[in-house]
């Protein structure tokens, strides 16, 4: 246990070191703090206008547990999604995994040490979401300070429960697929996990009206609300359910500890290398674009993420039919932007060479963005054709194009701020924290402003945001180059 805490501390210190590279003086810290307070405060005010009516509907219901159950289910699903995203973005062959394989640290200690930072980060994100989206509405609608604090406690316990359950399933499936020598078993494990959750909710579909009419109803994703019900005495004969819930909670925690013994620290490297033969021309800018496309296409993580995305889309279409084609296309336009996340890291070895040949930062940056946008559009078309996802409204494709460019810029910025590196364990997790804490309030604000202005001004507004993101990505790219290659 002590070694696990040392590993967790080492990971947290690594994250602190990464942040210190960005905020290395007090003025930067002050500006960032004011910026975050401004966008979070504005986002919270806008969220209040959106969620206030919904909260009132639940609070006017005669069953007091309805609102905590609804919040717990939503945050449980978000916790599961975050677990999947973290697993997809985390490298298995980072420096510390290799180092611990040679040190007197057993499999249990290493895996527990890596799991605890997951819990910390997911808890921070979930509490931020709960505060940003619902706290103003809960407070204004007189939900009560005590009930609010109790709801936060229930949600946090539920997060620990869901993460432990997800980790049990992941470790078990990973162990079995590894024993069967199935290639790329990490992504297969994630696909199987998502399939299981889809299946669970096809046979246990969440019916909001049921929660408003039935006396008391819980499932695995709202198990810990029995604590709220027992504390507030809002449900009769709840003590038996509370006792059962605590037994299930304890059993899952203990099974999670046991699952840490399953996953070995020795990860077998696997490769995919498509498009091995290609020719370059005399035009340097064209060659930079082509190199970017080839480099990202040959990245095994990009290929496996695309396969995982296709599997998820197939599951959605199998369970829900073609009624969600528009949402699938818009979601795909965001997912394909992930190819930009590893762009800076994959080209780090080439960057000193660019300086030798006196290639400007602007030229390299422009070539990278153009190459990434082309690759993302090709992936979007590929996903649409393979999954037979089409719509008649051409505006959906126009919106999708805008979202593709926006997601490319967003993930390029994040990947440049926190480059994928085997020397920085779980650093990719930081990008999700930044994405939620910064991008979510900004998205709420932008969406709100867009709803207030005319379509013509809306187009100009979105174009201005795009230009700002391009300028920001250029500044960050230049800063990163100057910081690493002085």
For the segment 13-24, the average pLDDT, to the nearest whole number, is 76
Among 53-57, 61-65, 157-161, 345-349, the minimum mean pLDDT is found in: 61-65
Among 239-248, 273-282, 288-297, the minimum mean pLDDT is found in: 273-282
Please, which pLDDT band fits residue 327 given cuts at 50, 70 and 90?
A: confident
63 with 234: CB under 8 angstroms?
yes
Among 167-176, 259-268, 446-455, 457-466, the minimum mean pLDDT is found in: 259-268
The dihedral built from the CA positions of residue 159, 160, 166 and 167, taken in this order, carries a sign that is positive
* pLDDT value of position 61: 64
Q: pLDDT by residue (tens digit) across 59-114?
A: 776 556 778 888 898 899 899 989 988 888 776 655 566 666 656 677 888 888 88
Tokens representing 337 are: 């932007």
CA-based max dimension of the chain: 79
* pLDDT value of position 98: 61
Choice between 53 and 135, residue whose per-residue pLDDT is larger? 135
d(CA 234, CA 183): 51
Give the CA distances from residue 204 to residues 66, 200, 314, 347, in Å, rounded to whole numbers and listed in that order.
17, 6, 20, 46
How is the chain split among helix, strand and coil, in percent rounded to 5?
80, 0, 20
Domains of the chain: which residue ranges? 2-259, 284-420+453-484
Tokens representing 455 are: 């379509």
* pLDDT value of position 479: 84
Please, which pLDDT band fits residue 253 given cuts at 50, 70 and 90?
A: very high
d(CA 136, CA 44): 7
d(CA 333, CA 383): 10
Tokens representing 482 are: 């100057």
227 with 154: CB under 8 angstroms?
yes
For the segment 225-247, the average pLDDT, to the nearest whole number, is 81
Give the CA distances from residue 78 to residues 73, 130, 436, in Å, rounded to whole numbers and listed in that order.
9, 11, 12
Q: Is 233 left (phi over 0), alpha (psi -120 to 50) or beta?
A: left
Give the CA distances from residue 201 to residues 73, 227, 264, 318, in Å, rounded to whole numbers and listed in that order.
12, 24, 31, 13
* pLDDT value of position 407: 92
For the segment 176-184, the average pLDDT, to the nearest whole number, is 83
- Which pTM value belongs to this model? 0.82
* pLDDT value of position 157: 95
List alpha helices for 282-342, DSSP H. Answer: 284-297, 300-320, 325-335
Q: Is 358 left (phi over 0), alpha (psi -120 to 50) or beta?
A: left
Q: Is 452 left (phi over 0), alpha (psi -120 to 50) or beta?
A: alpha
Please, which pLDDT band fits residue 368 given cuts at 50, 70 and 90?
A: very high
355 with 388: CB under 8 angstroms?
no
Choice between 251 and 267, residue whose per-residue pLDDT is larger? 251
The alpha carbon of 357 is separated from its chain's Cα centroid by a whole number of angstroms, namely: 38
Choice between 430 and 62, residue whose per-residue pLDDT is larger? 430
H/E stretch holding 350 reads none
List alpha helices for 180-263, DSSP H. Answer: 185-203, 208-213, 225-232, 239-259
Choice between 418 and 212, residue whose per-residue pLDDT is larger? 418
* pLDDT value of position 265: 47
* pLDDT value of position 336: 92
pLDDT above 70 for 270 = no
pLDDT above 60 for 7 = yes
d(CA 48, CA 28): 30
Give the CA distances from residue 52 to residues 68, 73, 136, 159, in Å, rounded to whole numbers and listed in that order.
15, 18, 8, 24
Angle at 132 between CA 341 and CA 88, to 5 degrees: 25
Report the percentage of the chain scoring pLDDT > 70: 85
Choice between 229 and 217, residue whose per-residue pLDDT is larger? 229
**Entry field: residues in the chain:** 486
pLDDT above 90 for 162 = yes
Among 190-194, 330-334, 351-355, 440-444, the minimum mean pLDDT is found in: 351-355
3-state secondary structure of 143: coil
Please, what's the b/e burial string for 455-473 (b: 16 or more CB within 10 A of its CB; e: otherwise)?
eeeeeeeeeebeeebbeeb
* pLDDT value of position 390: 86
* pLDDT value of position 160: 95
45 with 136: CB under 8 angstroms?
yes
Among 195-209, 221-235, 391-405, the minimum mean pLDDT is found in: 195-209
pLDDT above 50 for 268 = no
* pLDDT value of position 164: 95
């Amino acid at each position: 246990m002590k070694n696990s805490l040392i590993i967790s501390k080492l990971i947290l210190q690594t994250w602190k070191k990464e942040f210190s590279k960005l905020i290395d003086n007090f003025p930067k810290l002050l500006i960032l703090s004011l910026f975050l307070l401004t966008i979070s405060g504005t986002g919270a005010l806008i969220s209040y206008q959106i969620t206030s009516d919904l909260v009132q509907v639940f609070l006017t219901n005669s069953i007091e547990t309805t609102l905590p159950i609804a919040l717990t289910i939503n945050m449980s699903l978000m916790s599961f999604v975050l677990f999947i995203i973290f697993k997809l973005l985390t490298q298995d062959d980072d420096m510390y995994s290799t180092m611990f394989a040679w040190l007197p640290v057993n499999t249990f200690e290493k895996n527990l040490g890596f799991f605890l930072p997951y819990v910390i980060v997911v808890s921070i994100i979930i509490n931020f979401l709960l505060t940003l989206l619902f706290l103003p509405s809960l407070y204004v609608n007189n939900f009560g300070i005590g009930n609010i604090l109790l709801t936060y406690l229930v949600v946090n316990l539920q997060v620990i429960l869901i993460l432990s359950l997800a980790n049990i399933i992941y470790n078990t499936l990973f162990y079995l697929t590894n024993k069967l020598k199935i290639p790329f078993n990490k992504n297969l494990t994630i696909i199987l996990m998502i399939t299981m959750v889809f299946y669970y909710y096809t046979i246990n579909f969440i019916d909001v009206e049921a929660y408003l009419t039935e006396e008391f109803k819980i499932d695995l994703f709202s198990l810990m609300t029995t604590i709220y019900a027992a504390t507030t005495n809002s449900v009769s004969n709840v003590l038996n359910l509370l006792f059962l819930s605590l037994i299930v909670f304890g059993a899952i925690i203990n099974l999670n500890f046991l699952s840490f013994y399953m996953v070995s620290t020795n990860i077998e490297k696997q490769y995919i290398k498509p498009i091995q033969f290609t020719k370059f021309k005399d035009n340097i800018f064209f060659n930079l674009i082509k190199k970017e496309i080839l480099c990202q296409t040959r990245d095994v993580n990009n290929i496996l993420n695309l396969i995982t995305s296709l599997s998820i889309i197939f599951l959605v279409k199998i369970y829900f039919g073609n009624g969600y084609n528009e949402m699938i296309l818009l979601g795909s336009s965001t997912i394909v932007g992930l190819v930009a996340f590893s762009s800076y890291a994959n080209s780090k070895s080439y960057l000193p060479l660019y300086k030798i040949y006196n290639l400007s930062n602007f030229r390299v940056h422009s070539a990278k963005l153009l190459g990434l946008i082309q690759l993302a559009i090709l992936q979007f078309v590929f996903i649409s054709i393979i999954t037979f996802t089409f719509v008649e409204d051409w505006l959906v494709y126009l919106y999708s194009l805008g979202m593709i460019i926006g997601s490319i810029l967003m993930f390029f910025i994040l990947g440049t701020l926190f480059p994928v590196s085997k020397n920085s364990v779980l650093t990719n997790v930081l990008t999700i924290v930044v994405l939620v804490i910064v991008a979510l309030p900004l998205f709420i604000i932008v969406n709100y402003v867009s709803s207030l202005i005319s379509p013509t001004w809306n187009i100009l507004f979105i174009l201005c945001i795009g230009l700002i993101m391009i300028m920001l990505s250029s500044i960050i790219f230049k800063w990163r180059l100057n910081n690493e290659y002085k």
